[in-house]
């Protein structure tokens, strides 16, 4: 993977940098995912364990396909941020990738639109789809969800995310993430039950 080792070890030299990075397909050469991190090595290795640390199903499927072929995504630094103001840079790069048809697996637009300042891109649609697929939310409430205005579903989702903890977003993995996702589903279910009773 060329200079991958030197890229992910740059953390040792520039500890205060926030990186806008891309995951590049080693076959097509195209960047397929854009994210931000202050620890390239840790973030890269979490991407290489998609079953444990990936919430974004589109990205997870792409990475698993590469691994099955004996390949790995390559990490490339798109921009270094020294003043902590990373949001506009991430939004800019995701927009560029979409405009140029890179085939990005990002779900959200970047920046603070990535719900709760997550390390991974997660949008409202995915969160609700995941809850709808869960057995925690019953069929009656699933139907109710489709009738609610966007602002209401957004409010429910944000409340669920903030009360379930950072593990929802890949900061933690395995058991912690499973517990956190279940809490998220339960909060959504409870909120919908409250609305249904009004």
Residue 163: both structure tokens together: 């009360």
DSSP characters over 24-39: E-TTT--EEEEEEES-
Q: What is the largest CA-CA distance in the chain?
A: 60
pLDDT at 95: 92
Question: What does the pLDDT look like over 117-151, one tens digit per residue?
Answer: 333 334 455 566 566 656 667 777 777 777 777 67
What is the helix, strand, coil percentage profile of the chain, to 5?
A: 55, 10, 35
Residue 27: both structure tokens together: 């076959």
The pTM of this model reads 0.58
139 in the same domain as 99: no
Angle formed by the axes of helices 150-164 and 124-133, nearest 10°:
80
Residue 82 belongs to a domain with what CATH number?
3.40.1440
pLDDT at 184: 74
Highest mean pLDDT among 93-107, 130-144, 159-173, 178-192: 93-107
Does the pLDDT value for residue 115 go beyond 80? no
Give the list of residues 6+ apart from residue 151 with CB closer than 8 angstroms, or none: none
For tokens 């409202």, the residue is 124
130 in the same domain as 101: no
How many domains does one find in the chain? 2
Classified as helix, coil or strand, 43 is helix
pLDDT at 180: 66
Instruction: Compute the average pLDDT of residues 187-197.
Output: 84
Domain that holds residue 79: 1-121
131 in the same domain as 108: no
Cβ atoms of 176 and 183 within 8 Å: the answer is no
Residue 185: both structure tokens together: 């589903």
Classified as helix, coil or strand, 22 is strand
Domain stops at, among 121, 137, 157: 121
Question: What does the pLDDT look like over 58-90, one tens digit per residue?
Answer: 788 899 999 999 999 999 999 999 987 898 999
Domain stops at, among 100, 121, 142: 121
pLDDT band with cut points at 50, 70 and 90 for residue 183: confident
Greater confidence, 74 or 197?
74
Distance CA 188, CA 185 (A): 5
162 in the same domain as 103: no
Q: Spell out where the chain has E strands.
A: 18-24, 31-37, 74-81
């Amino acid at each position: 993977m060329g200079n991958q080792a030197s890229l992910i070890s740059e953390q040792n030299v520039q500890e205060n940098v926030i990186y806008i990075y891309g995951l590049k397909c080693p076959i097509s050469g195209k960047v397929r995912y854009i994210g931000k991190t202050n620890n390239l090595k840790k973030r890269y290795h979490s991407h290489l364990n998609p079953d444990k640390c990936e919430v974004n199903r589109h990205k997870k499927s792409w990475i698993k396909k590469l691994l099955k072929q004996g390949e790995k995504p390559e990490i490339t630094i798109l921009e270094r941020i020294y003043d902590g103001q990373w949001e506009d840079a991430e939004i800019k790069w995701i927009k560029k990738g979409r405009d140029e048809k890179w085939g990005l697996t990002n779900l959200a637009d970047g920046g603070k639109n990535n719900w709760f300042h997550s390390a991974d891109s997660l949008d409202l649609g995915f969160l609700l789809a995941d809850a709808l697929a869960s057995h925690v939310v019953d069929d009656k409430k699933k139907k109710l969800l489709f009738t609610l205005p966007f602002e209401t579903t957004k409010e429910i989702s944000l409340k669920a995310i903030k009360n379930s903890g950072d593990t929802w977003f890949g900061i933690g993995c395995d058991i912690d993430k499973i517990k956190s996702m279940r809490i998220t589903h339960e909060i959504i279910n409870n909120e919908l039950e409250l609305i249904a009773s009004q």
